[in-house]
Amino acid sequence: MIIGTLTSIWRYPTKSLRAESLDAVEVEASGLRGDRERAFFVRSYGHARSGKTYRGKENDRLHLLDDPGRVPELAAQNAVDVEFRDGERFFDDAFGPTSS
């Protein structure tokens, strides 16, 4: 019985930035290895999303970037100060894996 066919694999190394196409990837209990292991967080005080991830809804060009080094400059154009974090998985609470 065939349940489905996998036609492509996409991973987002940095949350909200451009995805990368993969030929193969290791699937862990928490998801794809290397997926959303980095993210930018809004540091601007008074910004509606202060302390939360900087996402495409705040900047409609974000998903076109594959170079995280350009994000602070792009954010600054919208008067948003961001900080880079890595070393954990950054999923939206409603959709991310749960810890056991």
Residue-level pLDDT at 100: 43
Q: What is the mean pLDDT of each run of 10 residues along the chain (100 residues)?
A: 90 94 92 94 86 86 91 92 92 57
Angstrom distance (rounded) from CA 68 to CA 57 = 17
Residue-level pLDDT at 2: 87
Angstrom distance (rounded) from CA 9 to CA 90 = 19
> The whole model's pTM is what?
0.79
Residue-level pLDDT at 4: 87
Record the tokens describing residue 15, joined without a space: 């949350």
Unique residue bearing structure tokens 């030929």: 23
Residue-level pLDDT at 93: 64
* SS3 label, residue 9: strand
Residue-level pLDDT at 99: 46
Residue-level pLDDT at 38: 95
